[in-house]
Amino acid sequence: MRKVVIDEDKCKGCELCVNACPKGVLELAGERMNIKGFHPASLKDEESCISCAFCAMMCPDVCIDVYK
């Protein structure tokens, strides 16, 4: 199971989660777009993720679930 699961189709690419991550493991997926036409957030380095859930707390659209 992944530590961070992002519902990419709900994401509006606001980058609040990217900026909130203390380990810098999130980024916007520049190569693909979701059904709303936004570049969604994606996990780029799962090994460095500490499951702090700051990203989930910052997400205004509740797109992110964090697991330990």
Question: Which domains occur in the chain, in start order?
Answer: 4-57 (3.30.70.20)
pLDDT of residue 53: 97
Structure token digits, residue 65? 């679930």
Q: Is the model's pLDDT at 68 over the cut of 90?
A: no
Do strands 41-43 and 4-6 pair parallel, antiparallel, or not at all (unpaired)? unpaired
pTM attached to this predicted model = 0.91
pLDDT of residue 40: 98
pLDDT of residue 62: 97
pLDDT of residue 9: 96
Q: What is the pLDDT of residues 7-60, one digit of tens each?
A: 999 999 999 999 999 999 999 999 999 999 999 999 999 999 999 999 999 999
